[in-house]
């Protein structure tokens, strides 16, 4: 299981995305198992893929989920509260809602590996002080 951020979700379903090849290659090197994202990331990706490729791109994103290659993590109340704390802590970075949701999800699931194009994940720290394993 590897966490996945919005950027790679978009790139994985949009051949015209400049990060398509690098994200496909990186995803192919990940351990077997589904990618995991949060509803804020999925929502953001769904909006952005529509702008890039219309409804067919949205279908491709949905298909990642229906094929079992993507799990959308349901955030708990405690994780949502943690997101608010994280956004306050990293307000100068700044941290957006999607990033906060992935950090909270990582902490809850005990996951450090994340497929992302966002350099902020090299700055963010998990509750135990550990860093993310950023892919690619």
pTM, entire model: 0.94
| 127 within 8 A of 18, measured Cβ to Cβ | no
The domain in which residue 37 lies consists of: 2-135
Summarize pLDDT for 91-104 with one digit per residue, the tens: 999 999 999 999 99
For the chain, percent of residues with pLDDT exceeding 90: 92
Q: Is the pLDDT of residue 9 over 90?
A: yes
Q: Which residue has the higher pLDDT, 80 or 31?
A: 80
What is the model's pLDDT at position 57? 94
The mean per-residue pLDDT over the stretch 38-61 comes to 95
- Cα diameter, the chain: 41
Looking at the 3D structure of the chain, how many domains does it have?
Answer: 1
Percent of the chain beyond pLDDT 70?
A: 100
Q: What is the CATH number of the domain that holds 100?
A: 3.40.50.1010
Q: CA–CA separation, 21 vs 27, rounded Å?
A: 10
- Determine the average pLDDT of the residues in 118-133: 96
Instruction: Give the model's confidence band at 112: pLDDT under 50 very low, under 70 low, under 90 confident, else very high.
Output: very high
> Which residue matches tokens 């909006």?
47
Residue 31 has what pLDDT?
Answer: 84
């Amino acid at each position: 299981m590897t966490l996945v951020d919005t950027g790679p979700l978009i790139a994985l379903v949009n051949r015209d995305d400049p990060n398509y090849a690098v994200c496909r290659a990186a995803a192919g090197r990940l351990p077997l198992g589904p990618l995991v994202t949060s509803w804020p990331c999925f929502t953001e990706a769904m909006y952005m893929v529509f702008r890039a490729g219309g409804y067919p791109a949205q279908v491709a994103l949905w298909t990642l989920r229906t094929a079992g290659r993507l799990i959308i993590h349901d955030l708990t109340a405690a994780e949502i509260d943690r997101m608010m704390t994280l956004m306050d802590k990293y307000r100068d970075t700044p941290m957006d809602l999607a990033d906060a949701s992935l950090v909270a999800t990582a902490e809850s699931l005990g996951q450090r590996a994340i497929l992302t194009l966002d350099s902020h994940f090299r700055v963010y720290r998990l509750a135990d002080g550990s860093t993310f394993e950023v892919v690619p």
